[in-house]
Amino acid sequence: MTAEIIDGKVIAADLRARVADEVARVKREHNLVPGLAVVLVGNDPASEVYVRSKHTQTQAAGMASFEHKLPTDVSQQDLLTLVAKLNRDPAVHGILVQLPLPKGLNTEAVINAIDPAKDVDGLHPNNAGRLAGGFEALSPCTPLGCIILTKSVHASLEGMNAIVIGRSNLVGRPLVQLLLNENATVTIAHSRSRDLPGLVRKADLVYAAVGRPEMVRGDWLKPGATVIDVGINRIPKEDGKTRLVGDVAYQEALAVAGAITPVPGGVGQMTVACLLVNTLRAACAIAGLPKPAV
Ligand code: NDP
């Protein structure tokens, strides 16, 4: 048996096309142009690549894209002043401050300063709390993408046993809440969990969000399980270059799983597509329009 490969590229492209259709509709019917502002502090090369990709994809979806680049040594006060300005700007419906911030800046204070209605990263405590309470909320993009990928295989997750490995605010914790909303039965594992292979073996749905290359082995999996690999790890190759691998031993898992996301080409593709979804949803909510059809 070889697992079905869940093609994040195709699923993300379909999602982006549906967002673009809805953006065109709200523009036509309500003269509303959703706008996303991305704030990049410093010149971390990986962050610059992400920000460029967000800018291109936002524009391709027909939305307005505003980029703000600040120097590494920007003061906390100047960063907060920019966030306050974006909070007031009626052309901006989504604000994303690219993380990690350079040392010396207080990330928590910056996240808390973002208007929760424009918090398209879903990290503000208002949104995290609303999600945990089962209320309507802007949810973090990567976990949203994980749910969409899972639902490309299973129409309903009701009653399925899911395990989420990793409990970060960005991925693991919100993913658990989204799975609960889908009526899955969820285990959350972390670095102190005992007998991780035994816990994983019970799961129909396995989410690995750890940051340890190929940690989840093929013989940990229940045959037929659906595996969503969030990990992005750069490991050295013999020729001095690097290659990307996930948190799951992909070749081993292929022989046991029912379906699996590749790295690259899986979850990573979904994150920016879901950012576009959140920006469209935020714009409609701020304008008092019904939730868009995506
Ligand atoms: P964090 O470092 O914030 O969290 C890692 C989690 O893994 C922690 O909860 C930690 O447990 C747990 N962990 C560490 N070691 C083990 C272990 N041996 N056994 C079980 N659990 C362990 O990472 P993120 O959540 O931010 O990211 C996780 C991965 O996902 C990374 O590879 C990152 O690059 C990737 N990522 C990918 C995205 C995408 O778009 N595809 C987006 C965001 C992240 P504890 O809490 O006990 O320390």
Low-confidence ranges of the chain (pLDDT < 70): none
221/199 Cα distance (integer angstroms): 9
The pLDDT value recorded for residue 284 is 98
Flag whether the pTM goes above 0.85: yes
The domain spans of the chain are: 30-117, 141-269
Task: State pLDDT tens for residues 114-129.
Answer: 999 999 999 999 999 9
CB 8 within 8 A of CB 265: yes
Predicted local confidence at residue 61, as pLDDT:
98
Closest CA to 121 of 31, 54, 24: 54
Same fold for the domain at 30-117 and the one at 141-269? yes
The tens digit of pLDDT for each residue in 198-216 reads: 999 999 999 999 999 999 9
Strand partners, 226: 205, 259
Q: In what order do the strands lie in the sheet with 226-229?
A: 4-5, 259-260, 226-229, 205-208, 161-165, 185-189
**CB count, 10 Å around CB of 179?**
24
Q: Residue 111: its pLDDT value, please?
A: 98
Q: Is 291 considered catalytic here?
A: no
Q: Average pLDDT of the chain? A: 97
CATH of segment(s) 30-117: 3.40.50.10860
Residues belonging to the binding site for NADP(+) are 166-168, 232
Asked whether 140 lines ligand 1 (CB < 6 A), one says: no
Distance from the alpha carbon of residue 29 to the mean position of ligand 1, in angstroms: 42
**Cβ atoms of 287 and 30 closer than 8 Å:** yes
Give the CATH number of domain 141-269: 3.40.50.720
Give me the pLDDT at residue 1, please: 75
Q: CB of 231 closer than 6 A to ligand 1? A: yes
211's torsion region: left (phi>0), alpha (psi -120 to 50) or beta? left
For the question of residue 177 being annotated catalytic, the response is no
Backbone angles phi, psi at 186, to 5 degrees: -115, 135
CA of 165 to the centre of ligand 1 (A): 8
Q: What local confidence, expressed as pLDDT, does residue 286 receive?
A: 98
